[in-house]
């Protein structure tokens, strides 16, 4: 059963502006962002039982998504700090 919206903007609304800017201008951020949303979609499909997967696979997807979120958050914090000092 799906629990909530895990889109990056929903998870980190205070970084909405930085998410947009980095998606437009940073290819590495964009690649991680796309992977994060791909995994989120896969996890939602598993939770809705649209896609069959083992519990282990689902947990691995969730761990990978969390790792991506941490990486993205680091990038967003740096972008926000740079914006505030400019």
In a domain, 86, yes or no: no
Cα 78 to chain centroid, rounded:
16
> Residues 61-82: pLDDT tens digits?
999 999 999 999 999 999 999 9
Q: Name the band, by pLDDT with cuts 50, 70 and 90, for residue 86.
A: confident
In a domain, 1, yes or no: no
Task: Give the domain extent around 25.
Answer: 8-81
> Residues 16-49: pLDDT tens digits?
999 999 999 999 999 999 999 999 999 999 999 9
Radius of gyration for the alpha carbons in the chain, expressed in angstroms and rounded = 14
Please check whether residue 75 is in contact with residue 27, taking contact to mean a CB–CB distance below 8 angstroms. no
Query: Is a pLDDT exceeding 90 seen at residue 2?
Result: no
Q: Name the band, by pLDDT with cuts 50, 70 and 90, for residue 3.
A: low
- Considering its fold, how many domains does the chain have in total? 1
In a domain, 65, yes or no: yes
In a domain, 17, yes or no: yes
In a domain, 29, yes or no: yes
2: phi then psi, degrees, rounded to nearest 5: -65, 145
């Amino acid at each position: 059963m799906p629990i909530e919206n895990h889109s990056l903007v929903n998870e980190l609304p205070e970084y909405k502006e930085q998410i947009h800017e980095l998606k437009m201008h940073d290819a590495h951020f964009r690649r991680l962002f796309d992977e994060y949303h791909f995994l989120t979609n896969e996890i939602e499909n598993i939770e809705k039982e649209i896609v069959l997967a083992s519990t282990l696979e689902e947990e691995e997807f969730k761990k990978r998504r969390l790792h991506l979120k941490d990486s993205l958050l680091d990038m967003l914090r740096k972008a926000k700090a740079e914006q505030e000092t400019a």
